[in-house]
Amino acid sequence: MPSVVTVDTNPFEGQKPGTSGLRKKVKVFVQEHYTENFVQSILDANKDSLKGSTLVVGGDGRYLVREVVDKIIKISAANGVGKLLVGQNGILSTPAVSCIIRKYKALGGIVLTASHNPGGIDNDFGIKFNCANGGPAPDATTNQIYALTTAIKQYKIVPDLVCDINKIGVSNYDIDGSKFTVEVIDSVNDYVAYMKEIFDFNKIKALIQGTDKRKPFNVLIDSMNGVTGPYVKRIFLDELGAKEGNVRRIVPLEDFGGAHPDPNLTYAADLVNAVKGGDYDLGAAFDGDGDRNMIIGRDAFFVTPSDSLAVLANNLQHIPYFERTGVRGYARSMPTAAAVDRVAEATGHEMFEVPTGWKYFGNLMDAGRLSLCGEESFGTGSDHVREKDGLWAALAWLSVLAATGLSVEDILKAHWAKFGRNYFTRYDYEECASDPCNEMMQTLEKKITSPGFVGSSHSSGGKTYVVKQADNFSYMDPIDQSVAMKQGLRIIFEDGSRIVLRLSGTGSSGATVRLYIDSYEATNVLGDAQVMLKPLIDVALQVSELAKYTGRDAPTVIT
């Protein structure tokens, strides 16, 4: 009979969860006791509710997921957890974990993913804890987990417990007199059932298959070798009648086939080229763990995530779920362009601006004040779960396309004609040296918060911008009054244009600088974003002295 063993250990430095959990190189996680310490700390942070509780466990299929699922099973068994719901082969997309936690009223879930970061033995791994609402743990919880990691002396484990996660089914164990159950569940069933409640699959199917009056709407759905593969297969091929040629890279691979599974114009260039060169009406890609999405139209017409959010906000009536629940407020993260704000104003809905990170939307959703939200970082979602949801976004777009009969590009053009356009771009400078980047942020913060900066003029390319407000963004959650400080430097100009600069919270080594530019035009809406934003980008580079601090004269990625 398997029994509990207590193992002596010592704290590891740096087990502080970032924007989205603990993310490090695989070689860090495989150090003896490293993963065990962190998992034990997650459980200890929940110790008051742990006895007999149910937890959901799954990940994006990357290298190490299976081994860590096995450790989590053994450590959970030793710590009094009652039951684990584990995705078959350890596979669960991040939105599916959220869905399953909520559906089965679990205490929470442990998600094994480094999201859009590359996978494989030389790349990244991650562990994230989600709470009973299905959403990423709030700062208070992750801080508590971190504090526990700094003091940990022992962890408990049942080393002899054997559990086969390849087969669906229930295994019951007696652990020193306590009952422990592992239920290996189908990775996609619950999620797909939920999508069928949210959307009208018949309408989307008619769009994709075509009718007497309309030719088939030709989609190209790209899972980038990430976790969404089996979900795409079930939804698009089995349910919506798409053909094999409508999907690509749908087998989850431990190293994502060498791809960087981040759906943007750079890392999903494959998809962009395929849509450009082919006869496709819509292309969509998802990241490694299935919460991010990119939407492009015919000829790879790019929909910025900020515009995607605004368009969906203006079209929720085409989605059955919102007919049932009604539409509450909208929200976006601070660096996200403010296009959705205009929809909120026009439709009379509440609008929230939160820090970067999906966890900041959860309280608003739980309080019934938020229906739809999104981030410039290719995240779109609603209160159907508490994670952003890539496939949901693609299905939402297809619902709108089916109902309006318009092309992706025409929907955008009509939207801009009505609301004006927020031109937006983001420059990423990846893997820079950390110290000079921190220094740049400190110097810039000082500069923009010094007397005289508000009111100062900045010119480039024949345009002059006058500063109206400048600060390091902080946010007070309207529901629980918790405060998040230092969430990004922002310079807001008289005409509403914005420059935002922040350091990424999701990298695993060095610093990634993100520069966000957002500029509104009421009537001049059909320009090229890079051309339109050039003057403001130049101002941002001057004011921040970015080239001097990073040593970079060009970004790694432009979106």
With CB under 6 A as the contact rule, the residue among 297, 329, 379, 555 that binds ligand G6P is: 379
The runs of H, that is alpha helices, within 375-471 are 390-404, 408-419, 434-449
Q: At what angle do helices 529-544 and 434-449 cross, to 10 degrees?
A: 90
Chain centroid to Cα 533, Å, comes to 26
Residues near 283 by beta carbon (within 8 Å), at least 6 away in sequence: 219, 220, 221, 222, 271, 272, 274, 275, 294, 295, 296, 297, 300
Q: Which residue has the tokens 């000079």?
A: 436
Q: Which letter, b or e, does each residue of 347-372 get, where b requires 16 or more Cβ atoms within 10 Å of its Cβ?
A: eebebbbbbbbbbbbbbbbbeebbbb
Q: Which letter, b or e, does each residue of 200-225 get, where b requires 16 or more Cβ atoms within 10 Å of its Cβ?
A: bbebbbbbbeeeeeeebbbbbbbbbb
CB of 373: closest distance to Zn ion in angstroms?
A: 15
Sole window of 45-53, 113-121, 143-151, 266-274 interacting with Zn ion (rule: CB under 5 A): 113-121
Binding of residue 115 to Zn ion (CB under 5 A):
yes
With CB under 6 A as the contact rule, the residue among 20, 123, 142, 223 that binds ligand G6P is: 20
223 is catalytic: no
The active-site residue, picked from 93, 115, 223, 377, is: 115
With CB under 5 A as the contact rule, the residue among 44, 124, 281, 289 that binds Zn ion is: 289
Sole window of 56-64, 163-171, 269-277, 350-358 interacting with ligand G6P (rule: CB under 6 A): 350-358
CB of 486: closest distance to ligand G6P in angstroms?
A: 13
Sole window of 6-14, 41-49, 347-355, 501-509 interacting with ligand G6P (rule: CB under 6 A): 501-509
Binding of residue 98 to ligand G6P (CB under 6 A):
no
Binding of residue 17 to ligand G6P (CB under 6 A):
no
Sole window of 285-293, 405-413, 414-422, 466-474 interacting with Zn ion (rule: CB under 5 A): 285-293
Q: Which stretches does DSSP call E strand in 376-529?
A: 379-382, 421-432, 457-460, 463-472, 475-476, 483-484, 489-493, 498-503, 511-521
Binding mask 54-93 for ligand G6P (x = CB under 6 A): ----------------------------------------
CB of 355: closest distance to ligand G6P in angstroms?
A: 9
With CB under 6 A as the contact rule, the residue among 308, 377, 399, 508 that binds ligand G6P is: 377
Q: β-strand 457-460 against 463-472: which pairing, if any?
A: antiparallel
Q: Within a 10 A sphere around the Cβ of 284, how many other Cβ atoms?
A: 28
Direct distance between the N- and C-terminal alpha carbons of the chain, in angstroms, rounded to an integer: 55
Could you tell which of ligand G6P, Zn ion, none binds residue 379, using a CB distance below 5 to 8 A set by kind? ligand G6P
Binding of residue 117 to ligand G6P (CB under 6 A):
no
Active site (catalytic) residues: 115
> Residues interacting with Zn ion, by CB under 5 A?
115, 287, 289, 291-292
Interaction site with ligand G6P (CB under 6 A): 19-20, 115, 333, 356-358, 375, 377, 379, 504-506, 514
